[in-house]
Each structure stands twice: as C-alpha cells, then as structure tokens.
Amino acid sequence: MAVFEDVKSVREFPYSSTLENGEVLNFVPAGALDVAIIGDTIIFSVPSEKFLYAYDIADGTCLGSFLRKGNGPYEFLNPPFMQDLVISDGIV
C-alpha cells in the first residue's frame, strides 16, 4: 500500500479546492500564512505586495487589500499574524 495514494498538486493558478462538505472555497490567495473570520468576512495574511486580503465569505468577492510591503512610511517588512492584530467590534 502506497503512503501517498491520493496526492494532488497545483498545476495552474488560481487553484480551487473542494472542502469536506462539498462547498468550494475558490478565493484563498496562494501562500496564505494565516486566516481570521470576522462576521461575514474572511481575512488572509499573505506574503505579497499587500499583506492582508479581505473576502466576502458568501460569494468570494475581494473586498480589498491593505498593509503594503516596503520600507517607507505606513509600510511593513513582514506580514502580520492574526493573533498580533487587535480585533475589536469587527475592526482590524
């Protein structure tokens, strides 16, 4: 018996993955490091030009991205982990 009988690999992007209950979550950014769900919004921490991406859970619409990568004012060197962010009343 092979250990990896059901191996799947990503051959093109965007990549969709079917969840256990049959729902498709096709808006997960590649390389997502962390995730937080606030109400009807799912936020991903991603190592890209913008570190945080927010999506509507119901339809997968991208609501926006924020925290720009860089060395300048209002820019950040590394993506944050969700536990490091202050989340209060739906505000990140």
Interval 35-78: pLDDT, tens: 887 878 888 888 777 888 888 888 888 899 888 888 999 888 87
Query: What is the rounded average pLDDT of the residues 2-28?
Result: 58
Q: Is residue 13 part of a domain?
A: no
Q: Is residue 51 part of a domain?
A: yes
Domain that holds residue 57: 31-84
Q: Is residue 19 part of a domain?
A: no
Assigned token pair, 61: 């619409």
How many separate domains does the chain show?
Answer: 1
Q: What angle do CA 21, 25, 26 make, to 5 degrees?
A: 145
Q: Distance of CA 11 to CAs 5, 8, 16, 46, Å?
A: 18, 9, 11, 20
List CB contacts of 56: < 8 A, sequence separation 6 or more. Answer: 40, 41, 63
Q: Is residue 45 part of a domain?
A: yes
For residues 41 and 15, the model is more confident at: 41
pTM above 0.75, yes or no: no
